[in-house]
Amino acid sequence: MESKELLAAMNKAYKYLALRDHFEAEIRKKLKNKDFKDDIIDETIKSLYSNKFLDDSKLAYKFASEKLKTEGKNKVLYRLLNKGVDRSVALSAIEDCYVDENEVCLEQLEKKAEAMGVFESLQKGQKIEGRLERKLVNYLKNKGFGMSSIIYSMKNIRCHQYLN
């Protein structure tokens, strides 16, 4: 199937991939927006895979390993799914990236607490509670951390006053 339309679709796809890596769903969407037919898009995608220009598994791993440095697994999964990555591919990529989510969560909490001036309060013997505690917990939830990591982090940041 070497038609002009296929050649045009391939050229478009190569241009997109020359700018940055894309997931299959992103390329499909871009080609669909350029009014290419489904069979042409399918053939283009097949060719991109066979020539190793597309690899959702590798790209999902690369994406996850970068994002898991500052975000929780839940948010990274959500972001991969929004990019059109198959759920099993996304979960596998996240699992393959060994990251201690508790430590990442604690790092993010400490950065946020520092920015909010929480450590000054801790040094004065005050506790993190009430509105401030809810604000910090919600911040970590929005970053995609699980409750076990959030609880771990909140307990450990409370110990911070004794470490200084």
In this predicted structure, the answer to whether residue 130 has a pLDDT above a threshold of 90 is: no
| DSSP secondary structure letters along 83-125 | TT--HHHHHHHHHHS---HHHHHHHHHHHHHHHHTHHHHHHTT
Rounded-to-integer distance, Cα 164 and Cα 161, Å: 6
Assess contact for 121 and 108: CB atoms under 8 A: no
Tokens 């400490």 locate to 110
Lookup: tokens for 11: 């050229």
Question: What type of residue sits at position 139?
Answer: Y
Between residues 116 and 136, which one has the greater pLDDT?
136
Ranked by mean pLDDT, which of 86-90, 109-113, 155-159 comes out on top? 86-90
Rounded-to-integer distance, Cα 48 and Cα 1, Å: 15
- First-residue to last-residue Cα distance in the chain: 69
Lookup: tokens for 23: 């997931």
1-54 maps to CATH 3.40.605.10: no
Q: 157 pLDDT band (50/70/90 cuts)?
A: confident
Question: What type of residue sits at position 57?
Answer: S
Cα 148 to Cα 25, 75, 155, distances in angstroms: 33, 15, 11
Q: 125 pLDDT band (50/70/90 cuts)?
A: low
DSSP state of 63: H
Residue 68: per-residue pLDDT: 97
pTM of the model: 0.84
State pLDDT tens for residues 31-48.
Answer: 999 999 999 999 999 999
In this predicted structure, the answer to whether residue 158 has a pLDDT above a threshold of 80 is: no
